Amino acid sequence: EIVMTQSPATLSVSPGDRATLSCRASQTVSTNLAWYQQKLGQPPRLLIYATSARATGVPVRFSGAGSGTEFTLTISSLQSEDFAVYYCQQYHKWPQYTFGQGTRLEIK
Partner 1 sequence: QVQLQESGPGLVRPSQTLSLTCSVSGAPISRGGFYWSWVRQRPGKGLEWIAYIYYSGNTDSNPSLQSRVFVSVDTSRNQFSLNLTSVTAADTAVYYCARGPPYRELDFWGQGTLVTVSS
Asked if 64 touches partner 1 (CB under 8 A), the answer is no
Asked if 89 touches partner 1 (CB under 8 A), the answer is yes
Asked if 101 touches partner 1 (CB under 8 A), the answer is yes
Q: By the 8 A CB rule, do 36 and 55 touch?
A: no
Asked if 65 touches partner 1 (CB under 8 A), the answer is no
Triad 60, 56, 13: Cα angle to 5°: 40
Pairing assessment for the beta strands 45-49 and 33-38 based on DSSP bridges? antiparallel
| Contacting positions for partner 1 (CB under 8 A) | 1, 32, 34, 36, 42-46, 49, 55, 87, 89, 91, 94-102
